[in-house]
Chains A and B, each alone.
Chain A
Amino acid sequence: MTTTLIQLAYLIAAVLFILGLRNLSSPKTASLGNAMAAVGMLIAIVATLLYQEVVDYGMVIAGILVGSVIGLVAARRVAMTDMPQMVALLNGFGGAASTLVAGAEVIGRISTDQPPTGVVPIAVVLSVLIGGITLTGSLVAFAKLQELMTGSPIQYPGQQFINAAIALGTLALCVLLVMSPLDVGLLAAVAGAALLLGVLLVIPIGGADMPVVIALLNSYSGLAACATGFVLDNSALVISGSLVGASGLILTKIMCDAMNRSLGNVLFGAFGAQTEQAVVGGEDQGTATAYTPLDAAVIFSNAQSVVVVPGYGMAVAQAQHAVRELTDSLAESGIEVNFAIHPVAGRMPGHMNVLLAEADVPYDRLIEMDEINPQFPETDVVLVLGANDVVNPAAREDESSPIYGMPVLEVDKATHVFVIKRSMNPGFAGIQNPLFFKDNTMMIFGDAKKVVIELNDAIKNY
């Protein structure tokens, strides 16, 4: 009887998760959707506590309290600019939980001498493997985003070969574990191999490709939960895990499409590795011209329409509030201001939207690439702020460019383009940007936040 009620509670939780995700399709209903999913989770947790197998409440309650307090503090304290790291870390913890649950199940079965049957051994292997890769892969992504380690791809001779050998070895261990599922040594070996693979797979991926990595790890955390669902024969885990898995996979595909690259190329291409050495297509570009914020103020003041293109540089300089003040001044002078958002701008899907929302920019001013591209020819001034590859015209014009074919914001079609950049160094992908050398482009060198504040002062005093 109780078991039936618990199963029904899980069904209600699953329905709430689906409805919650559906409500995320509009910013008006998104908060409600998140609340619905949270209620679903509460129902699932309470229902689980009612299982008659659960007898030792002390440990359970202690774990829930510790985890909740850490989660609460982290969610309250984290700065919006640190959101990519936060999401990476949370993905990793999800993977860790799945691995640990699968491990606990095996050890519990050893103590009661109940060897798993059917698909359970395969599911155990999958959840330990995917969960382990998710954990260390996310930790490396976290370290790169937090700048605890270099954001450039880390490469060494024979890397592909070594990774392939380790992957094959892991596969062999997995097969052995499926055949003797109660072997603790093998279980630990698979877990260790998964942790190692997670590190090796993410270190060769460059900072600019982080949106793909984070979306993919998001998907893995769901798939690990799904595999754990098969281990425990629990439909709540299977449904929720596959929802999250699907979500992460869709985001991964959107990010790859936005860079016109395959997932394999992102994961193994070590894009941006050549940053320090050869700059692709850097010769005979002519000269870029440097201007001051005062020069820019004249042109901004005479504009009727302005489009701001934010990139990772805006996040690094924490310039979003200064940008908001600048666009307020422009709007007060009757100038129409919009923001053009490229899907892979920043370090995670939706990064720029979150930062600008934090700075109180209304979301109807944040325009997607496909919608704003036709508007650039009628735009008076474009302000490129810490973005580089996503505005590179070489993606449209230069077939020899490594990013040829990538959909980009066609800012060079506007009357005037201002690019705020620290120096002439190429972006993360190490590709020279012909935009900087166009006749209608004016460069302003300096820290994004500082330049925007100076520009705003200059416009106010103009």
Chain B
Amino acid sequence: MLEAPAIAALTILVLALFVGVEVISKVPPLLHTPLMSGSNAISGITIVGAILAAGAEHAALAKWLGFAAIVFAMINVVGGFLVTNRMLAMFKPKDRKAD
């Protein structure tokens, strides 16, 4: 019923979900916001598909949709990682005044 590549992709999906649950369950509530913005930047991986759509030789409309997708995905990637970095830089362990 399903072709081999689809089975392979489905296998990867299920295994990655398990890895995701394992890894993310360990993130403390303290860091839930950076987790969201950081993981959101990772979901910008759609940039890969967007580059293929905009860069390939095919219908002009498909290329323009790809271009728009690149812009959105890149805002996601750059905005997501930078804002996460900004937030994480604020988390400090010790009271500096007390030291």
Which residues of A pack against B, CB within 8 Å? 10, 13-14, 17-18, 20-22, 24-28, 30-31, 33-35, 37-38, 40-41, 44-45, 48-49, 51, 53-57, 59-60, 62-64, 66-68, 70-72, 74-76, 78, 80, 83, 86-87, 90-91, 93-94, 96-98, 100-101, 103-105, 107-108, 110-112, 117-119, 214-215, 218, 221-222, 224-226, 228-248, 250-251, 254, 328, 331, 341, 343, 348-351, 353-354, 357-358, 360, 362-366, 368
A447 to chain B, nearest CB (A): 24
Q: Can you name 20 A-B residue pairings with CB atoms under 8 Å? A: A18-B19, A21-B20, A44-B47, A55-B56, A70-B79, A94-B72, A96-B69, A97-B72, A100-B65, A100-B66, A104-B54, A108-B56, A111-B58, A233-B9, A235-B8, A237-B49, A244-B42, A244-B43, A251-B35, A360-B90
Which residues of B pack against A, CB within 8 Å? 2-3, 5-6, 8-9, 12-13, 16-17, 19-21, 23-59, 61-63, 65-98
With A and B bound together, what is the CA distance between A56 and B54 in angstroms?
7
Task: Return chain A residues, CB-CB under 8 Å to B33.
Answer: 83, 87, 348-351, 353-354
- In addition to A49-B55, A67-B73, A97-B70, 17 A-B residue pairs with Cβ atoms within 8 Å of each other are A44-B47, A54-B51, A60-B70, A63-B54, A63-B68, A72-B79, A75-B78, A110-B59, A224-B43, A232-B48, A241-B43, A250-B25, A349-B29, A349-B33, A362-B92, A362-B95, A362-B96
Q: Contacts A233-B5, A239-B16, A357-B87 given: A45-B29 contact, CB under 8 Å?
A: no
Contact, CB under 8 Å: A57 / B55? yes
Contact, CB under 8 Å: B81 / A41? yes
With A and B bound together, what is the CA distance between A107 and B20 in angstroms?
33
Nearest 9 CB-CB pairings of A with B: A67-B74, A246-B20, A63-B70, A71-B78, A350-B32, A54-B55, A71-B79, A111-B59, A75-B82
Nearest residue, chain B, Cβ from A220: B43
Q: Contacts A53-B56, A71-B77, A353-B32 given: A94-B48 contact, CB under 8 Å?
A: no
Contact, CB under 8 Å: A234 / B35? no
Q: Contacts A90-B75, A240-B43 given: A27-B82 contact, CB under 8 Å?
A: no
Contact, CB under 8 Å: A70 / B70? no
SS class of chain B's interface: helix, strand, loop or mixed?
A: helix
A82 to chain B, nearest CB (A): 10
Contact, CB under 8 Å: B45 / A41? yes
With A and B bound together, what is the CA distance between A251 and B73 in angstroms?
23
Contact, CB under 8 Å: A236 / B45? yes
Contact, CB under 8 Å: A97 / B44? yes
Q: Contacts A244-B42, A348-B33 given: A357-B16 contact, CB under 8 Å?
A: no
